[in-house]
């Protein structure tokens, strides 16, 4: 099973992004029955989606699983839906801010993720890692790349399943501003379990 796994570069003043750390860690690991390809996306509304589409065209995966950080969450969150909305809570890394703008001007209001989220949820929990299903991927870059990938697959009738998983902050990110976090090794175990279940 050829899987494209993506993460994001740091943003919002942080020096680290757990999704990037997960991609780097898993890129060097062997996972049974998985032909894993990875990409790190810039946190820019122009560059992030464009790089993801380039990776999809290059890799031609069976599955795309994008990862992104969601500060304030305490579990791995499997997103069920992407909405056609750009409404940033902060500027992206290029300084661009978007308010009440569509991702695709003539696109549908929303797309459901096409990965089997309940299967993934069960696999992650069986690995001993807290996980949940989520109905809000936000309106920032995480939602934008999920919507863009789902739209690309739909309009081109591609046999690719697409999903998104939000991950918590790392412990070192909440030292000065206490909040939920999860250790990298725990996250790795959860994402590995998800990838194995997909294969």
Q: What is the pLDDT of residues 6-55, one digit of tens each?
A: 999 999 989 999 999 999 999 988 999 999 999 999 999 999 999 999 99
pLDDT digits (tens, 9 = 90+) for 101-156: 999 999 999 999 999 999 999 999 999 999 999 999 999 999 999 999 999 999 99
* Cα–Cα dist 170/71, whole Å: 9
166 is catalytic: yes
Domain 2-198: assigned CATH number: 3.40.630.20
Q: Residue 78, SS3?
A: strand
Q: Where are the domains of the chain?
A: 2-198
Which residue of the set 21, 142, 151, 152 is catalytic? 142
Query: Catalytic site residue 142?
Result: yes
pTM for the model stands at: 0.96
**Per-residue tokens: 62:** 């069976």
**For residue 173, how many other CB atoms are within 10 A of its CB?**
19
* Of 21, 37, 66, 79, catalytic: 79
């Amino acid at each position: 099973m050829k899987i494209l796994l993506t993460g994001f570069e740091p943003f919002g003043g942080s020096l680290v992004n757990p999704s990037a750390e997960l991609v780097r860690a898993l890129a060097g690991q062997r996972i049974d029955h998985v032909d894993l390809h990875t990409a790190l996306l810039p946190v820019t509304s122009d560059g992030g989606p464009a790089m993801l589409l380039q990776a999809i065209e290059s890799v031609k995966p069976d599955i795309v699983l994008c990862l992104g950080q969601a500060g304030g969450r305490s579990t791995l969150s499997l997103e069920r839906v992407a909405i056609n909305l750009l409404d940033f809570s902060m500027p992206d890394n290029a300084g661009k801010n978007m308010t009440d703008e569509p991702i695709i001007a003539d696109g549908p209001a929303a797309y459901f993720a096409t990965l089997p989220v309940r299967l993934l949820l069960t696999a992650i929990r069986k690995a001993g890692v807290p996980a949940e299903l989520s109905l809000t991927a936000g309106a920032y870059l995480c939602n934008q790349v999920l919507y863009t990938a789902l739209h690309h697959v739909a309009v081109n009738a591609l046999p690719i399943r697409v999903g998104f998983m939000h991950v918590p902050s790392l412990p070192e990110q909440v030292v000065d501003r206490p909040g939920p976090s999860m250790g990298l090794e725990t996250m790795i175990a959860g994402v590995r379990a998800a990838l194995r279940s997909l294969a």
